[in-house]
Amino acid sequence: MTADVSPPVRPATLEDVAAVAGVSRATVSRVINGATTVDPALRRVVEEAVATTGYVPNRAARSLVTRRTDSIALVVSERERRPVAEPFVGRMFSDPHFGRVVGGVLDVLRPAGIQMVLMLADDEASRNQLLSYLRQGHVDGVVLISSHADDPLPALLHDTRLPAVLAGRPLRPSPLTYVEADQRAGAQMAADLLVSLGRRNIASIAGPQDRPAGQARLDGFLDSLAGHGIGEVEVAEGDFTHTGGASAMRKLLRDRPGLDGVFIASDLMALGALPVLLRAGRDVPGDVAVVGFDDSSAALACDPPLTTVRQPVEEMASEMARLLLKQIGKSGRPEPSVVFHPTLVRRESA
């Protein structure tokens, strides 16, 4: 008895797609390779033909023609490793801000068929490893999340001539494109609200002062209070973590026990700070009005729910991805930087 052996199914080709779409092979190739000069109606016809035939592009062959990998690196740069209660990776994945950035970037990359590679750089060895990977052409571009003001990576990235977009304005002058929220303006909103509520004994849990966002938020807050005639402000520096916020609040209560208003430079720090206030017998907002920054999931986890300054993190992350793809399409020419405007979200803490 002879076995029934079916012939192997032949993969669909560009010619098959062209025949179904009724266009030339060259037109199909232009659509698949992302050419922007194809008429939208014609593009839809070709895309429908691709779906009908089940055509799958040969990425290896395509990359030889386009010199692209169809992948980008999301690089998170941290300070040199040092003993901490929670390792760098643990802090990163426990911070709701990071998840929002990843979600916003993927919202743009997925429809474009672009893969994202997550890479970490927290000491000289890992930076060198990262730069070697980038120079070998494994990705088409980089979105860089840098955590500190003296980070050498922006300059090193520029030297690679790889398309790159920064999350946040760098303190040092840089030709790289960046996307950020107006941190100073957001902090000024927090100060103006506390003053409008009649608070005068005001303090702040600041973000790390070696980070651009930490500096900008504190400067904006203090400048606004000075404009209202309030020059004596107690400041405790935190580290943008839950435990850092709790520790900083205990310090504020020791140094300024009569405080009646607090600006906390991140919602995650506020999540740690509010229970300290409540355990000290201070009612929020009756005794102490509290304003945070970010409008992350931590703001709703606070008790009471946190009044906070919203920076549109997902929209900013999506814009970073869009600007990077534009640069890649223009052979790396930088795009104009973009600054988003924050808004104040009123809840029950102020």
The domain covering 14-66 belongs, at the CATH homologous superfamily level, to lambda repressor-like DNA-binding domains (1.10.260.40)
From first to last of its 350 residues, the chain has per-residue pLDDT tens of: 455 555 555 677 888 889 999 998 888 888 876 666 778 888 888 888 888 887 776 654 555 455 677 899 999 887 654 444 455 555 666 677 788 899 999 999 988 888 999 998 877 888 888 888 888 888 999 999 886 777 888 888 888 888 999 998 877 778 889 999 999 999 999 999 999 999 999 999 999 988 888 999 999 999 999 999 998 899 999 989 999 999 999 999 999 999 999 999 999 999 999 999 999 999 999 999 999 999 999 999 999 999 999 999 999 999 999 999 999 887 667 789 999 999 999 999 99
**Nearest to residue 149, comparing CAs of 207, 208, 88, 210?**
210
Architecture in CATH for domain 71-180+313-340: 3-Layer(aba) Sandwich (3.40)
d(CA 92, CA 101): 11
Counting Cα atoms < 13 Å in the Cβ hemisphere of 88 gives 14
DSSP-derived pairing of the beta strands 261-264 and 115-121: unpaired
Q: DSSP assignment, residue 122?
A: -
From CA 193, how far away is CA 126, in angstroms rounded?
Answer: 43
> Of 102, 96, 167, 155, nearest to 323 (Cα)?
167
**pLDDT on residue 339:** 95
Fold match between 14-66 and 183-310? no
Domain boundary assignment for the chain: 14-66, 71-180+313-340, 183-310
Spatial separation of the C-alpha atoms in residues 127 and 94, rounded to whole Å: 23
Which pLDDT score is estimated for 83? Answer: 46
pLDDT of residue 34: 64
Res 93: pLDDT = 62
Q: For the domain 183-310, what is the CATH code?
A: 3.40.50.2300
Per residue, the 3-state secondary structure of 11-36, as one string, reads: CCCHHHHHHHHCCCHHHHHHHHCCCC
Task: Please report the pLDDT score of residue 36 as a whole number.
Answer: 64
270 closest CA partner among 286, 288, 258, 287 = 288
Q: Is the pTM of the predicted complex or chain greater than 0.85? A: no
Q: In whole angstroms, give the CA distance from residue 69 to residue 114.
A: 9
